[in-house]
Amino acid sequence: MEMVSTALSHGGIQGVYRHQAETTGCEMTFAVFMPPDSDGPVPVLWYLSGLTCSHANVMEKGEYRRLAAELGIAIICPDTSPRGDAVPDEADNWQFGSGAGFYLDATQSPYARHYQMYSYILGELSELVAANFAVDMSRQGIFGHSMGGHGALIMALKNPERFKSCSAFAPIVNPMTADWSSTAFGKYLGDDTAGWRAYDAVALIEDGHEFSDLLVDQGEADSFLDNGLRPWLLEAACQKSDIELTLRMQVGYDHSYFFISTFMDDHLRWHAARL
């Protein structure tokens, strides 16, 4: 692991690191915020970013460090996809390829060699973080935005023994049927939609996966609300499965980091109460 940069912030350290990842077959970059020194290992909160983003977007715009330092929580920000000249991509398609890994494990050639973001985050990157930072991996939460909210939901639903908390900002809750994700799923996972259900929050709940409670914030002025996000589908699935969902429709807010940063403190406190 190579340190790219570090900076002091609110008494903690915001670092950026890179390493050669076997899972994705390329060099990967990620960010870690460690709160000020405490008496022991600190809880871990994973933040997964959305389409076109990298680790840097929430690090620069998310405004999480002040409260994370106060609460004593480490924030881990992975990249959203593999990157590099050897990684297959569609440069003119912002909904697929670089910056759009959808946090799944691709099964289709030529994407299967590199697009293994689900296994990378839950396996290789988690092991690297545990080995190099003073974190308590028995206290983990996960949250994210848009495509990253989708990633947080599916990882929590499939690994409730690992994640003690989960929340999301404007998540893609049913990517199998959403305009901006179904095409990508076909390219990554093939034509058999039965295999897509393993990476779809609504489908996972329908198939019996459970989680204790979820927090979702969604802007009512979000231009992607009706065609891409559709939180009411998650709400209906949770109601049928008796999963406690706090869905907050925020009047006037859009899909941007102005929205995310406004409600970041609420999400950090939600996770802290459960970690």
Q: Which long-range contacts (CB under 8 A, 24 or more apart) does 107-115 make?
A: 107/188, 107/189, 107/190, 107/195, 108/187, 108/188, 108/189, 108/190, 111/187, 111/188, 113/25, 114/24, 114/25, 114/26, 114/82, 114/86, 114/87, 114/88, 115/24, 115/81, 115/82, 115/188
Least confident piece of the model among 31-45, 158-172, 247-261:
31-45
Average pLDDT of the residues in 100-106 = 97
Non-local (6+) Cβ contacts of 9 within 8 A are 33, 65, 69
Query: What domain range is 213 assigned to?
Result: 2-274
More confident site: 38 or 250: 250
Q: Which residue shows structure tokens 């590199």?
A: 114
- Which pLDDT does position 41 carry in this prediction? 96
Does the pLDDT value for residue 69 go beyond 90? yes
Question: How does strand 135-145 pair with strand 42-48?
Answer: parallel
Does the pLDDT value for residue 39 go beyond 80? no
Query: In this structure, what are the phi and psi dihedrals at residue 206, rounded to the nearest 5 degrees?
Result: -60, -30
- We report the CATH number of the domain holding residue 91 as 3.40.50.1820
Q: Which residue shows structure tokens 């999301």?
A: 168
Does the pLDDT value for residue 38 go beyond 70? no
Does the pLDDT value for residue 102 go beyond 70? yes
- CA nearest 100: which of 113, 90, 110? 90
Average pLDDT of the residues in 75-103 = 94
Give the whole-number percent of the chain exceeding pLDDT 90: 96
CA distance 135 to 73: 9
In 35-79, the DSSP E strands lie at 42-48, 74-77
- pLDDT interval class at 40 (50, 70, 90): confident
Is 115 in contact with 101 (CB distance < 8 Å)? yes
CA distance 94 to 92: 6
- Which pLDDT does position 189 carry in this prediction? 98
Q: Which residue shows structure tokens 């405004």?
A: 63
- Per residue in 153-200, pLDDT (tens digit) is 999 999 999 999 999 999 999 999 998 899 999 999 999 999 999 999
Residues acting as catalytic residues: 146, 222, 255
For the chain, the domain total comes to 1
Is 269 in contact with 143 (CB distance < 8 Å)? no
- Which pLDDT does position 37 carry in this prediction? 80
- Which pLDDT does position 180 carry in this prediction? 84
- Per residue in 191-241, pLDDT (tens digit) is 999 999 999 999 999 999 999 999 999 999 999 999 999 999 999 999 999
Mean pLDDT, the chain, whole residue set: 97
Non-local (6+) Cβ contacts of 250 within 8 A are 217, 218, 219, 220, 259, 262, 263
Does the pLDDT value for residue 257 go beyond 80? yes
Number of H helices, E strands in the chain: 9, 9
